[in-house]
A = this chain, B = another copy of it.
Amino acid sequence: MMRTRPLKVALLGCGVVGSEVARIMTTHADDLTARIGAPVELAGIAVRRPDRVRKGVPAELITTDATALVKRGDVDVVVEVIGGIEPVRTLITTAFEHGASVVSANKALLAADGATLHAAAVQNGVDLYYEAAVAGAIPLIRPLRESLAGDKVNRVLGIVNGTTNFILDRMDSTGAGYSEALDEATALGYAEADPTADVEGFDAAAKAAILAGIAFHTRVTIDDVHREGLTEVTAADIASAKRMGCTVKLLAICERSADGRSVTARVHPAMIPLSHPLASVREAYNAVFVEADAAGQLMFYGPGAGGAPTASAVLGDLVAACRNKLAKTTGVGESAYTRLPVSPMGEVVTRYHISLDVADKPGVLAQVATVFAEHQVSIDTVRQQGKDGEASLVVVTHRAPDAALSATVEALRKLDTVRGVASIMRVEGE
Protein backbone atom coordinates (compact mmCIF):
# COMPACT_ATOMS: atom_id res chain seq x y z
CA MET A 1 0.00 0.00 0.00
CA MET A 2 2.81 2.40 0.90
CA ARG A 3 6.09 2.69 -0.95
CA THR A 4 8.01 4.31 1.92
CA ARG A 5 10.69 2.14 3.58
CA PRO A 6 9.51 0.63 6.85
CA LEU A 7 10.42 2.43 10.05
CA LYS A 8 12.39 0.21 12.42
CA VAL A 9 11.60 -0.13 16.09
CA ALA A 10 13.82 -1.71 18.77
CA LEU A 11 12.10 -2.95 21.90
CA LEU A 12 14.04 -2.95 25.18
CA GLY A 13 12.25 -5.27 27.60
CA CYS A 14 9.56 -7.81 26.88
CA GLY A 15 7.61 -8.25 30.09
CA VAL A 16 3.93 -7.49 30.60
CA VAL A 17 4.06 -4.18 28.72
CA GLY A 18 6.70 -5.07 26.12
CA SER A 19 4.99 -8.24 24.95
CA GLU A 20 1.71 -6.33 24.63
CA VAL A 21 3.47 -3.66 22.54
CA ALA A 22 4.92 -6.36 20.27
CA ARG A 23 1.53 -8.06 19.99
CA ILE A 24 -0.34 -4.87 19.03
CA MET A 25 2.37 -3.89 16.53
CA THR A 26 1.66 -7.19 14.77
CA THR A 27 -2.13 -7.38 15.05
CA HIS A 28 -2.72 -3.68 14.27
CA ALA A 29 0.04 -3.34 11.66
CA ASP A 30 -2.28 -2.01 8.93
CA ASP A 31 -3.78 0.64 11.18
CA LEU A 32 -0.35 1.74 12.38
CA THR A 33 0.86 1.97 8.78
CA ALA A 34 -2.09 4.16 7.82
CA ARG A 35 -1.74 6.42 10.83
CA ILE A 36 2.03 6.83 10.54
CA GLY A 37 2.22 7.02 6.76
CA ALA A 38 4.71 4.16 6.47
CA PRO A 39 4.93 0.58 7.73
CA VAL A 40 6.62 0.03 11.05
CA GLU A 41 8.50 -3.16 11.90
CA LEU A 42 10.26 -4.64 14.92
CA ALA A 43 14.03 -4.68 14.38
CA GLY A 44 14.89 -6.49 17.60
CA ILE A 45 13.80 -7.18 21.16
CA ALA A 46 16.36 -7.06 23.97
CA VAL A 47 15.60 -9.27 26.98
CA ARG A 48 17.51 -10.66 29.95
CA ARG A 49 16.08 -14.17 29.80
CA PRO A 50 15.88 -15.24 26.14
CA ASP A 51 14.61 -18.73 26.99
CA ARG A 52 11.39 -17.50 28.57
CA VAL A 53 8.43 -18.33 26.34
CA ARG A 54 6.82 -15.17 24.93
CA LYS A 55 3.58 -15.95 23.15
CA GLY A 56 3.22 -14.16 19.85
CA VAL A 57 6.69 -12.60 19.98
CA PRO A 58 8.89 -13.58 17.00
CA ALA A 59 11.77 -15.65 18.45
CA GLU A 60 14.26 -14.57 15.76
CA LEU A 61 14.09 -10.96 17.00
CA ILE A 62 15.14 -11.79 20.57
CA THR A 63 18.61 -10.73 21.71
CA THR A 64 20.32 -10.31 25.07
CA ASP A 65 22.61 -7.55 23.78
CA ALA A 66 20.62 -4.36 24.29
CA THR A 67 23.66 -2.15 23.69
CA ALA A 68 24.32 -3.66 20.25
CA LEU A 69 20.64 -3.24 19.40
CA VAL A 70 20.55 0.50 20.15
CA LYS A 71 23.90 0.98 18.34
CA ARG A 72 22.73 -0.64 15.08
CA GLY A 73 22.20 2.75 13.47
CA ASP A 74 19.20 1.68 11.36
CA VAL A 75 16.75 1.87 14.26
CA ASP A 76 14.32 4.80 14.04
CA VAL A 77 12.65 4.48 17.42
CA VAL A 78 13.68 2.66 20.60
CA VAL A 79 10.86 1.64 22.97
CA GLU A 80 12.17 1.25 26.52
CA VAL A 81 10.02 -0.75 28.94
CA ILE A 82 12.74 -2.17 31.21
CA GLY A 83 12.54 0.35 34.05
CA GLY A 84 15.09 1.50 36.65
CA ILE A 85 17.99 3.93 36.32
CA GLU A 86 20.95 1.97 34.94
CA PRO A 87 21.72 0.47 32.49
CA VAL A 88 18.66 2.16 30.99
CA ARG A 89 19.94 5.73 31.09
CA THR A 90 23.07 4.70 29.18
CA LEU A 91 21.02 2.69 26.69
CA ILE A 92 18.71 5.66 26.02
CA THR A 93 21.52 8.18 25.56
CA THR A 94 23.33 5.70 23.30
CA ALA A 95 20.15 5.32 21.26
CA PHE A 96 19.95 9.11 20.90
CA GLU A 97 23.58 9.28 19.77
CA HIS A 98 22.77 6.74 17.07
CA GLY A 99 19.87 8.82 15.77
CA ALA A 100 16.94 6.99 17.34
CA SER A 101 14.01 8.66 19.07
CA VAL A 102 12.99 7.04 22.36
CA VAL A 103 9.60 6.15 23.82
CA SER A 104 9.90 5.26 27.49
CA ALA A 105 7.56 4.18 30.28
CA ASN A 106 10.27 4.75 32.88
CA LYS A 107 8.93 7.06 35.61
CA ALA A 108 11.87 6.42 37.98
CA LEU A 109 14.46 7.52 35.44
CA LEU A 110 12.45 10.50 34.17
CA ALA A 111 11.80 11.69 37.73
CA ALA A 112 15.44 11.23 38.76
CA ASP A 113 17.20 12.67 35.73
CA GLY A 114 14.80 13.85 33.05
CA ALA A 115 16.94 16.93 32.34
CA THR A 116 19.92 14.85 31.14
CA LEU A 117 17.71 12.79 28.86
CA HIS A 118 15.89 15.80 27.40
CA ALA A 119 19.18 17.58 26.73
CA ALA A 120 20.60 14.51 25.00
CA ALA A 121 17.49 14.19 22.82
CA VAL A 122 17.72 17.86 21.76
CA GLN A 123 21.44 17.57 21.08
CA ASN A 124 20.83 14.66 18.72
CA GLY A 125 17.71 16.11 17.09
CA VAL A 126 15.42 13.26 18.16
CA ASP A 127 12.31 12.82 20.30
CA LEU A 128 11.86 11.64 23.88
CA TYR A 129 8.27 10.67 24.69
CA TYR A 130 6.99 9.12 27.94
CA GLU A 131 3.20 9.28 28.19
CA ALA A 132 3.21 5.77 29.71
CA ALA A 133 5.35 6.91 32.68
CA VAL A 134 2.42 8.66 34.37
CA ALA A 135 -1.00 7.09 34.94
CA GLY A 136 -0.79 4.37 32.28
CA ALA A 137 -3.25 4.81 29.46
CA ILE A 138 -4.59 8.16 30.59
CA PRO A 139 -3.47 10.88 28.19
CA LEU A 140 -1.82 13.42 30.51
CA ILE A 141 1.62 14.44 29.28
CA ARG A 142 0.37 15.44 25.82
CA PRO A 143 -2.72 17.33 27.10
CA LEU A 144 -0.65 19.18 29.73
CA ARG A 145 2.22 19.92 27.37
CA GLU A 146 0.27 20.68 24.19
CA SER A 147 -3.46 21.18 24.76
CA LEU A 148 -2.85 23.50 27.73
CA ALA A 149 0.20 25.17 26.14
CA GLY A 150 -1.70 28.47 25.92
CA ASP A 151 -2.97 28.35 29.49
CA LYS A 152 -1.46 28.68 32.97
CA VAL A 153 -1.76 25.61 35.18
CA ASN A 154 -1.99 26.44 38.88
CA ARG A 155 -2.58 23.07 40.50
CA VAL A 156 -2.47 19.35 39.71
CA LEU A 157 -4.15 16.94 42.14
CA GLY A 158 -3.78 13.31 41.20
CA ILE A 159 -4.62 9.79 42.22
CA VAL A 160 -1.66 8.30 40.37
CA ASN A 161 -1.12 4.98 42.14
CA GLY A 162 -3.70 2.25 41.64
CA THR A 163 -2.51 -0.03 44.45
CA THR A 164 -2.96 2.58 47.16
CA ASN A 165 -6.28 3.75 45.74
CA PHE A 166 -7.51 0.15 45.84
CA ILE A 167 -6.43 -0.16 49.49
CA LEU A 168 -8.07 3.13 50.54
CA ASP A 169 -11.24 2.33 48.58
CA ARG A 170 -11.51 -1.01 50.43
CA MET A 171 -10.89 0.63 53.79
CA ASP A 172 -13.59 3.18 52.95
CA SER A 173 -16.19 0.72 51.70
CA THR A 174 -15.67 -2.15 54.17
CA GLY A 175 -14.27 -0.43 57.28
CA ALA A 176 -11.20 -2.67 57.10
CA GLY A 177 -7.87 -1.59 58.58
CA TYR A 178 -4.78 -0.95 56.48
CA SER A 179 -3.20 -4.42 56.87
CA GLU A 180 -6.40 -6.23 56.02
CA ALA A 181 -6.97 -4.10 52.92
CA LEU A 182 -3.34 -4.57 51.83
CA ASP A 183 -3.73 -8.34 52.18
CA GLU A 184 -6.78 -8.21 49.92
CA ALA A 185 -4.91 -6.07 47.38
CA THR A 186 -2.05 -8.56 47.38
CA ALA A 187 -4.38 -11.55 47.00
CA LEU A 188 -6.10 -9.91 44.01
CA GLY A 189 -2.82 -8.96 42.32
CA TYR A 190 -3.20 -5.20 42.90
CA ALA A 191 -0.20 -5.10 45.25
CA GLU A 192 3.21 -6.63 44.69
CA ALA A 193 4.85 -9.05 47.14
CA ASP A 194 6.99 -6.11 48.30
CA PRO A 195 4.54 -3.20 48.22
CA THR A 196 7.00 -0.58 49.49
CA ALA A 197 7.25 1.48 46.28
CA ASP A 198 3.47 1.85 46.22
CA VAL A 199 2.44 2.14 49.89
CA GLU A 200 5.33 4.41 50.88
CA GLY A 201 4.50 6.76 48.01
CA PHE A 202 7.73 6.43 45.99
CA ASP A 203 5.84 5.55 42.81
CA ALA A 204 3.44 8.47 43.21
CA ALA A 205 6.32 10.83 44.07
CA ALA A 206 8.09 10.02 40.80
CA LYS A 207 4.90 10.80 38.90
CA ALA A 208 4.39 14.01 40.89
CA ALA A 209 7.87 15.18 39.89
CA ILE A 210 7.14 14.55 36.20
CA LEU A 211 3.72 16.22 36.33
CA ALA A 212 5.01 19.28 38.24
CA GLY A 213 7.82 19.82 35.75
CA ILE A 214 5.46 19.71 32.77
CA ALA A 215 2.62 21.67 34.40
CA PHE A 216 4.82 24.55 35.56
CA HIS A 217 7.47 24.53 32.81
CA THR A 218 10.27 23.99 35.28
CA ARG A 219 12.50 21.19 36.56
CA VAL A 220 11.34 19.03 39.45
CA THR A 221 13.01 15.79 40.50
CA ILE A 222 11.79 13.10 42.88
CA ASP A 223 14.13 14.52 45.55
CA ASP A 224 12.08 17.74 45.50
CA VAL A 225 8.87 15.87 46.30
CA HIS A 226 7.71 15.64 49.93
CA ARG A 227 6.53 12.07 50.43
CA GLU A 228 4.36 10.32 53.03
CA GLY A 229 2.89 6.86 52.43
CA LEU A 230 -0.43 5.50 53.60
CA THR A 231 0.79 2.85 56.06
CA GLU A 232 -0.32 4.91 59.06
CA VAL A 233 -3.83 5.61 57.82
CA THR A 234 -6.26 3.91 60.20
CA ALA A 235 -9.87 2.82 60.05
CA ALA A 236 -10.50 5.64 62.56
CA ASP A 237 -9.10 8.21 60.09
CA ILE A 238 -11.43 6.94 57.38
CA ALA A 239 -14.36 7.09 59.81
CA SER A 240 -13.41 10.66 60.81
CA ALA A 241 -13.27 11.62 57.13
CA LYS A 242 -16.77 10.19 56.61
CA ARG A 243 -18.13 12.25 59.48
CA MET A 244 -16.79 15.34 57.69
CA GLY A 245 -18.37 14.32 54.35
CA CYS A 246 -14.93 13.36 53.03
CA THR A 247 -12.98 10.34 51.91
CA VAL A 248 -9.23 9.64 52.17
CA LYS A 249 -7.07 9.43 49.03
CA LEU A 250 -3.31 9.24 48.52
CA LEU A 251 -2.78 12.38 46.46
CA ALA A 252 0.08 13.71 44.36
CA ILE A 253 -0.26 17.48 44.62
CA CYS A 254 1.69 19.99 42.54
CA GLU A 255 0.99 23.66 43.20
CA ARG A 256 2.13 27.07 42.13
CA SER A 257 2.61 29.31 45.19
CA ALA A 258 0.23 32.23 45.73
CA ASP A 259 2.85 34.75 44.58
CA GLY A 260 3.67 32.60 41.54
CA ARG A 261 7.40 32.60 42.33
CA SER A 262 7.80 28.98 43.40
CA VAL A 263 6.14 25.59 43.19
CA THR A 264 5.63 22.67 45.55
CA ALA A 265 5.21 18.95 44.94
CA ARG A 266 4.09 16.44 47.54
CA VAL A 267 2.52 13.03 48.02
CA HIS A 268 0.52 12.18 51.13
CA PRO A 269 -2.85 10.85 52.27
CA ALA A 270 -5.47 13.59 52.44
CA MET A 271 -9.16 14.02 53.09
CA ILE A 272 -11.16 15.33 50.13
CA PRO A 273 -14.88 16.20 50.06
CA LEU A 274 -17.18 13.55 48.59
CA SER A 275 -18.39 16.20 46.15
CA HIS A 276 -14.93 16.46 44.58
CA PRO A 277 -14.62 14.55 41.27
CA LEU A 278 -11.58 12.67 42.62
CA ALA A 279 -13.61 11.27 45.53
CA SER A 280 -15.54 8.92 43.25
CA VAL A 281 -12.43 7.32 41.72
CA ARG A 282 -12.80 3.74 42.88
CA GLU A 283 -10.69 0.58 42.99
CA ALA A 284 -7.36 0.73 41.15
CA TYR A 285 -8.38 3.54 38.76
CA ASN A 286 -6.25 6.67 38.46
CA ALA A 287 -7.42 10.23 37.85
CA VAL A 288 -5.70 13.57 37.60
CA PHE A 289 -7.48 16.83 38.34
CA VAL A 290 -5.99 19.97 36.79
CA GLU A 291 -6.80 23.60 37.60
CA ALA A 292 -5.81 26.17 35.01
CA ASP A 293 -6.40 29.93 34.73
CA ALA A 294 -8.55 29.86 31.60
CA ALA A 295 -9.60 26.21 31.26
CA GLY A 296 -10.87 25.96 34.83
CA GLN A 297 -11.14 22.48 36.34
CA LEU A 298 -10.37 19.47 34.18
CA MET A 299 -10.15 15.80 35.10
CA PHE A 300 -8.54 12.88 33.26
CA TYR A 301 -9.61 9.40 34.39
CA GLY A 302 -8.71 5.84 33.46
CA PRO A 303 -6.70 2.71 34.26
CA GLY A 304 -3.33 3.71 35.68
CA ALA A 305 -1.47 0.48 35.13
CA GLY A 306 -1.56 -2.90 33.42
CA GLY A 307 0.04 -4.31 30.28
CA ALA A 308 -2.54 -3.28 27.70
CA PRO A 309 -3.29 0.24 29.00
CA THR A 310 0.42 1.04 29.33
CA ALA A 311 1.03 -0.39 25.84
CA SER A 312 -1.70 1.92 24.51
CA ALA A 313 0.20 4.95 25.80
CA VAL A 314 3.51 3.60 24.45
CA LEU A 315 2.01 3.03 21.01
CA GLY A 316 0.48 6.52 20.86
CA ASP A 317 3.97 7.91 21.49
CA LEU A 318 5.46 5.47 18.98
CA VAL A 319 3.10 6.75 16.26
CA ALA A 320 4.09 10.35 17.07
CA ALA A 321 7.83 9.56 17.08
CA CYS A 322 7.53 7.68 13.77
CA ARG A 323 5.53 10.49 12.13
CA ASN A 324 8.17 12.99 13.21
CA LYS A 325 10.93 10.74 11.82
CA LEU A 326 9.14 10.64 8.47
CA ALA A 327 8.63 14.42 8.47
CA LYS A 328 12.24 14.92 9.61
CA THR A 329 11.10 17.00 12.55
CA THR A 330 10.70 16.63 16.30
CA GLY A 331 7.75 17.15 18.64
CA VAL A 332 7.36 19.35 21.69
CA GLY A 333 10.29 18.66 24.01
CA GLU A 334 11.07 19.75 27.55
CA SER A 335 9.88 23.24 28.43
CA ALA A 336 11.64 24.35 31.61
CA TYR A 337 11.98 28.06 30.92
CA THR A 338 10.29 29.32 34.09
CA ARG A 339 13.06 27.90 36.32
CA LEU A 340 10.73 28.20 39.31
CA PRO A 341 12.33 26.90 42.51
CA VAL A 342 10.66 24.11 44.48
CA SER A 343 9.76 25.24 48.00
CA PRO A 344 10.06 22.88 50.99
CA MET A 345 7.00 21.26 52.59
CA GLY A 346 6.97 23.81 55.43
CA GLU A 347 5.82 26.47 52.97
CA VAL A 348 2.88 24.47 51.66
CA VAL A 349 -0.39 26.11 52.73
CA THR A 350 -3.36 23.82 53.30
CA ARG A 351 -5.98 22.75 55.86
CA TYR A 352 -5.56 20.12 58.59
CA HIS A 353 -7.69 17.62 60.48
CA ILE A 354 -6.14 16.79 63.88
CA SER A 355 -7.41 14.22 66.39
CA LEU A 356 -6.19 14.65 69.97
CA ASP A 357 -6.67 12.39 72.99
CA VAL A 358 -7.17 14.76 75.91
CA ALA A 359 -8.13 14.75 79.58
CA ASP A 360 -11.88 15.20 80.03
CA LYS A 361 -11.84 18.23 82.28
CA PRO A 362 -12.79 21.91 82.02
CA GLY A 363 -10.34 24.25 80.34
CA VAL A 364 -8.73 21.75 77.96
CA LEU A 365 -10.32 23.24 74.88
CA ALA A 366 -9.19 26.71 75.93
CA GLN A 367 -5.60 25.46 76.37
CA VAL A 368 -5.61 23.75 73.00
CA ALA A 369 -7.15 26.76 71.25
CA THR A 370 -4.50 29.00 72.77
CA VAL A 371 -1.70 26.86 71.31
CA PHE A 372 -3.27 27.08 67.83
CA ALA A 373 -3.65 30.85 68.22
CA GLU A 374 -0.04 31.29 69.39
CA HIS A 375 1.12 29.67 66.14
CA GLN A 376 -1.35 31.68 64.07
CA VAL A 377 -3.19 28.59 62.90
CA SER A 378 -6.84 29.54 62.74
CA ILE A 379 -9.42 26.93 63.78
CA ASP A 380 -12.42 26.25 61.56
CA THR A 381 -14.30 23.67 63.65
CA VAL A 382 -13.78 21.68 66.87
CA ARG A 383 -15.66 18.56 67.88
CA GLN A 384 -15.40 17.21 71.44
CA GLN A 385 -16.34 13.72 72.55
CA GLY A 386 -15.83 12.56 76.10
CA LYS A 387 -16.51 9.69 78.47
CA ASP A 388 -15.00 8.34 81.73
CA GLY A 389 -12.36 11.02 82.16
CA GLU A 390 -11.00 10.52 78.62
CA ALA A 391 -11.97 12.67 75.69
CA SER A 392 -11.10 13.27 72.10
CA LEU A 393 -10.89 16.59 70.39
CA VAL A 394 -11.08 16.84 66.61
CA VAL A 395 -9.83 20.16 65.24
CA VAL A 396 -10.16 21.23 61.61
CA THR A 397 -8.12 24.31 60.74
CA HIS A 398 -8.34 27.01 58.13
CA ARG A 399 -5.48 27.24 55.64
CA ALA A 400 -2.07 27.54 57.30
CA PRO A 401 1.57 26.86 56.39
CA ASP A 402 2.72 23.30 57.05
CA ALA A 403 5.57 24.58 59.26
CA ALA A 404 3.11 26.44 61.50
CA LEU A 405 0.98 23.34 61.85
CA SER A 406 4.03 21.21 62.74
CA ALA A 407 5.07 23.69 65.42
CA THR A 408 1.50 23.72 66.76
CA VAL A 409 1.45 19.94 67.05
CA GLU A 410 4.81 19.90 68.78
CA ALA A 411 3.52 22.41 71.34
CA LEU A 412 0.28 20.46 71.80
CA ARG A 413 2.25 17.32 72.65
CA LYS A 414 3.87 19.18 75.54
CA LEU A 415 0.54 20.06 77.18
CA ASP A 416 -0.19 17.95 80.28
CA THR A 417 -3.81 17.71 79.27
CA VAL A 418 -3.01 16.30 75.82
CA ARG A 419 -2.43 12.56 76.21
CA GLY A 420 -1.57 12.04 72.54
CA VAL A 421 -1.98 13.20 68.97
CA ALA A 422 -3.99 10.38 67.43
CA SER A 423 -3.74 11.59 63.85
CA ILE A 424 -2.97 14.54 61.61
CA MET A 425 -4.31 14.61 58.09
CA ARG A 426 -4.39 17.34 55.47
CA VAL A 427 -7.68 18.37 53.90
CA GLU A 428 -7.55 19.13 50.16
CA GLY A 429 -9.75 19.77 47.18
CA GLU A 430 -11.84 22.66 48.42
Contacts and interface: CB of A to CB of B under 8 A. Distances in A.
Contacts of A31: 152, 217
Contact of A298 (B34, B139, B329, B332): B139
Interface residues of A, number: 56
A328 B298 CA distance: 32
A277 B277 CA distance: 10
Given A31-B152, A147-B313, A137 B323 contact: no
Nearest to A28: B152
A302 B302 contact: no
A308 B295 contact: yes
Nearest to A336: B34
B150 A139 contact: no
Given A24-B150, A297-B303, A303-B295, A34 B217 contact: yes
A221 interface: no
Contacts of A332: 323
Q: What is the oligomeric copy number? A: 2
Contacts of A337: 34-35
A146 interface: yes
A300 B297 contact: no
A299 B296 contact: no
A143 interface: yes
A271 interface: no
Interface stretch (A246-254, A314-322, A380-388, A391-399): A314-322
29 contacts: A24-B150, A28-B152, A32-B150, A131-B147, A137-B292, A137-B294, A137-B295, A138-B298, A142-B142, A142-B146, A143-B143, A147-B316, A148-B312, A149-B315, A149-B316, A150-B316, A277-B280, A293-B312, A294-B311, A294-B312, A295-B302, A295-B303, A295-B309, A295-B313, A296-B302, A296-B303, A298-B302, A299-B302, A300-B301
Interface of A: 20, 24, 28, 31-32, 34-35, 131, 137-139, 142-143, 146-152, 217, 277, 280, 292-303, 306, 308-309, 311-320, 323, 327, 329-330, 332, 335, 337-338
